[in-house]
Chains A and B, each alone.
Chain A
């Protein structure tokens, strides 16, 4: 049941519990309990809203920063990752295989704000060897949702047998 719930609310977290129970064919109380358990176990980590800021007319600058770091004895990459993710302007931090170590996404109001973070905060961390900042120019798709599409009309015949 947990997987069914998670699969559903990953797409639509706004659904109310009784309706969710109907859709997945489970008992309402059981669904409510499972949700609460998964919240306590930190399986469900938050309920966010996917926003097209551009369409809202609000300027945001997002950067994806490739960071190379020296892992620390006994801590691996965790300590430096924590150092970075604790900054509230950092949206995500991933440990990456390949040519660099951490992928950090950062959202700011202006280009200056983002570059300021990189030069003042990120690059000055002892174990950070180098950074490469990539600014996002356009979000086509985010979290499985196509951002550049509007509401679509139903082109089907109104009735067919």
Chain B
């Protein structure tokens, strides 16, 4: 039989973390701090709208780019919340989660040999999506000493004459790092100097604490070279609804829409109707969830500092990224031993790139009670490790 698989797909390694996940999922009584999705239920008024739309029989395709009413509401929201100015008709499309938007944007923009600059640690899809789109990923390792922000110098170091797109994954999963306006201004200068485009994944934009979120697309001269991605999963606790969106200059968006039209048709109709209510009426619910995440974030930071675990203060998403290099174990070894001896699951930092070595991703999308129990066990484990030495 002939080789059924493409050479490209075979070059993409399955995530090394799979094995660890399998152990966790079989351990019934393990406490997990390993999830990348909110613990809250989707606010009821959103669910209620979805049910209503089904009762009304709104079960058909929407237009490829998404419901007009939804797109109008999203652009109004982006304007008032982040000062972004997009035309709902020609510059925005509704996608199946932010994930689809990432994939479609890369496929619309890359030719073989084009390089995509990917800061890591970061979400796991940028790299394989780049390869699948024929591009070449170039990893920029971020540093703990910069609180995992991307600096202009780091960016310059990795730019070649083939560089085309810079991925900006902030607020960041897994580190919780954010980029503030001044950080972004420095990056934008380098981007313009080198005629790059930016794919900014701002899925955690609503989840920043004690600092305001700022989008690079709002900086002068950046809108025309930016694909802006956001969605409903994190802010509105709507992960399973699979709904995101992309905004881009018309020329780029038109081609992204072409791929979406052939590959996907349209984002789920029920989710789109529900999302109208989310983006229009749910500011209070979002604020309440944000406040609760913030309480947990402060709690964990306090506990880590108390047990002498090195951890920078993350201002975004719902993750902490403490450093465990003092123990002389790899992230993977630490996580495996923690799971085996204390039945607490956390994700090794290396699941998000080699530069995550020496760190753990700890999600605080859990109730305070669960967090307390888990952190107590982590503290026991850390004490035991220190005594071993």
CA of A19 to CA of B352 in the docked complex: distance in angstroms?
32
The answer to whether B37 and A161 have CB atoms under 8 Å apart is no
- Would you call B17 an interface residue if the criterion is a C-beta within 8 Å of the partner chain's C-beta atoms? yes
The answer to whether B295 and A23 have CB atoms under 8 Å apart is yes
Could you tell me which residues of chain A, from 78 to 131, have a CB within 8 Å of some CB in chain B?
A: none
- Would you call A148 an interface residue if the criterion is a C-beta within 8 Å of the partner chain's C-beta atoms? no
- Would you call A40 an interface residue if the criterion is a C-beta within 8 Å of the partner chain's C-beta atoms? no
CA of A8 to CA of B296 in the docked complex: distance in angstroms?
13
- Would you call A56 an interface residue if the criterion is a C-beta within 8 Å of the partner chain's C-beta atoms? no
Quick check: which of A30-38, A44-52, A61-69, A151-159 contacts chain B, the rest being far away? A151-159
List residues of chain A with CB within 8 A of the CB of B123. Answer: 161
The answer to whether B30 and A158 have CB atoms under 8 Å apart is yes
Asked whether A25 and B298 contact (CB < 8 A) given A156-B39, A159-B21, A160-B37, the answer is: yes
Asked whether A160 and B36 contact (CB < 8 A) given A22-B299, A23-B298, A24-B295, the answer is: yes
- Would you call B24 an interface residue if the criterion is a C-beta within 8 Å of the partner chain's C-beta atoms? yes
Chain A 1-30 near chain B by CB (<8 Å), digits 1 or 0: 000000110000000000100111100000
List residues of chain A with CB within 8 A of the CB of B345. Answer: 158-159
- Would you call B65 an interface residue if the criterion is a C-beta within 8 Å of the partner chain's C-beta atoms? no
Nearest chain B residue, comparing its CB with the CB of A23: B295
The answer to whether B295 and A158 have CB atoms under 8 Å apart is no
List residues of chain B with CB within 8 A of the CB of A157. Answer: 25, 35
The answer to whether A159 and B25 have CB atoms under 8 Å apart is yes
List residues of chain A with CB within 8 A of the CB of B331. Answer: none
Q: With contacts defined as CB atoms under 8 Å apart, how many contacts are there between chain A and chain B in the complex?
A: 53
- Would you call B351 an interface residue if the criterion is a C-beta within 8 Å of the partner chain's C-beta atoms? yes
Contact partner, B34, options A8, A19, A23, A159, Cβ 8 Å: A159
The answer to whether B347 and A161 have CB atoms under 8 Å apart is yes
Asked whether A159 and B37 contact (CB < 8 A) given A22-B298, A23-B298, A23-B299, the answer is: no
CA of A13 to CA of B124 in the docked complex: distance in angstroms?
41
The answer to whether A158 and B25 have CB atoms under 8 Å apart is yes
CA of A156 to CA of B17 in the docked complex: distance in angstroms?
18
Chain B 116-137 near chain A by CB (<8 Å), digits 1 or 0: 0000000110000000000000
- Would you call B302 an interface residue if the criterion is a C-beta within 8 Å of the partner chain's C-beta atoms? yes
- Would you call B336 an interface residue if the criterion is a C-beta within 8 Å of the partner chain's C-beta atoms? no
Asked whether A158 and B36 contact (CB < 8 A) given A22-B302, A24-B295, A25-B298, the answer is: no
CA of A56 to CA of B127 in the docked complex: distance in angstroms?
56
Interface size class of A (residues with CB under 8 A): 10 to 19
The answer to whether B298 and A158 have CB atoms under 8 Å apart is no
The answer to whether A160 and B34 have CB atoms under 8 Å apart is yes
Could you tell me which residues of chain B, from 367 to 384, have a CB within 8 Å of some CB in chain A?
A: 368
B234 CB to nearest A CB, Å: 12
List residues of chain B with CB within 8 A of the CB of A23. Answer: 295-296, 298-299, 368
CA of A23 to CA of B15 in the docked complex: distance in angstroms?
36
Nearest chain B residue, comparing its CB with the CB of A25: B298
List residues of chain B with CB within 8 A of the CB of A154. Answer: 39
Chain B 282-295 near chain A by CB (<8 Å), digits 1 or 0: 00000000010011
Nearest chain B residue, comparing its CB with the CB of A26: B298
List residues of chain B with CB within 8 A of the CB of A158. Answer: 21, 24-25, 30, 32, 34-35, 345
List residues of chain A with CB within 8 A of the CB of B291. Answer: 7
Contact partner, A159, options B174, B294, B347, B352, Cβ 8 Å: B347
The answer to whether B24 and A161 have CB atoms under 8 Å apart is no
The answer to whether A161 and B351 have CB atoms under 8 Å apart is yes
A156 CB to nearest B CB, Å: 5
Nearest chain A residue, comparing its CB with the CB of B361: A161
CA of A8 to CA of B352 in the docked complex: distance in angstroms?
35
List residues of chain A with CB within 8 A of the CB of B17. Answer: 161
CA of A91 to CA of B176 in the docked complex: distance in angstroms?
47
CA of A35 to CA of B352 in the docked complex: distance in angstroms?
44
List residues of chain A with CB within 8 A of the CB of B299. Answer: 19, 22-23
The answer to whether A160 and B35 have CB atoms under 8 Å apart is yes
B379 CB to nearest A CB, Å: 15
A158 CB to nearest B CB, Å: 5
B37 CB to nearest A CB, Å: 6
A87 CB to nearest B CB, Å: 37
In the A-B complex, the 10 residue pairs with the closest CB atoms: A159-B34, A23-B295, A158-B32, A160-B36, A22-B302, A159-B21, A158-B24, A158-B25, A160-B35, A159-B24
- 17 additional A-B pairs beyond A156-B37, A158-B30, A161-B36, beta carbons within 8 Å, are A7-B291, A22-B298, A22-B299, A23-B368, A24-B295, A25-B294, A154-B39, A156-B35, A158-B25, A158-B345, A159-B20, A159-B25, A159-B35, A160-B36, A161-B124, A161-B173, A161-B351
CB pairs A–B below 8 angstroms (6 shown) = A8-B295, A22-B298, A24-B298, A25-B298, A156-B37, A161-B352
